[in-house]
Amino acid sequence: MTSIHDAVLAHLEAQHLGARTDGECAITFAVDAPNGSFDVRSVTDEAAGLLVTHAIYPHFINEVDVAPLEDYLRQANLRLRVGNFELEIDPVVVRFKTSIDFAGTEPSSVMIGRSVGVAIGEMVRHMPGIASVVNGLSVDLAISSLD
């Protein structure tokens, strides 16, 4: 059976994404989007059969008022069907997370593509709203711009 790590690498190479690996479990690549660039990091746990992918919002340069950001991410999460946003406070880090349980099955390029694609798509979709809220726009206005 193909390892999850090798299947993810093969999928990313087929998509011409310049992935780099840091050993046997983590794969990282950069995404250039209309509203900025960000990293995507996929971590595999072969023993558990898991693939967890995070799209990581670019680092915040200035101090961030976390309360509106928390509210935006909470409301954004309520609208999601797949995946979720995560927020770390110190330092402030925003990630979008997807995961797949491949336990006992062959890793599928289609499923890897969907999981990675959702992480990328939701980060691209929400980058303007996150930036707007961090820069003082009301959460309600930022969320309404998603409709």
Q: What is the pTM of this model?
A: 0.93
**pLDDT tier at 147 (50, 70, 90 boundaries)?**
confident
Segment 35-79, tens digit of pLDDT: 899 999 999 999 999 999 999 998 776 678 899 999 999 999 999
**pLDDT tier at 24 (50, 70, 90 boundaries)?**
confident
> Which CATH number applies to 4-144: 1.20.1530.20, 3.40.120.10, 3.40.50.720, 3.30.1460.10?
3.30.1460.10
Summarize the confidence of residues 1-9 as an average pLDDT: 93
Longest CA pairwise span in the chain (Å): 50
Residue showing tokens 């690996």 = 21
Q: E strands within 20-142?
A: 20-21, 26-33, 36-45, 50-56, 84-88, 93-101
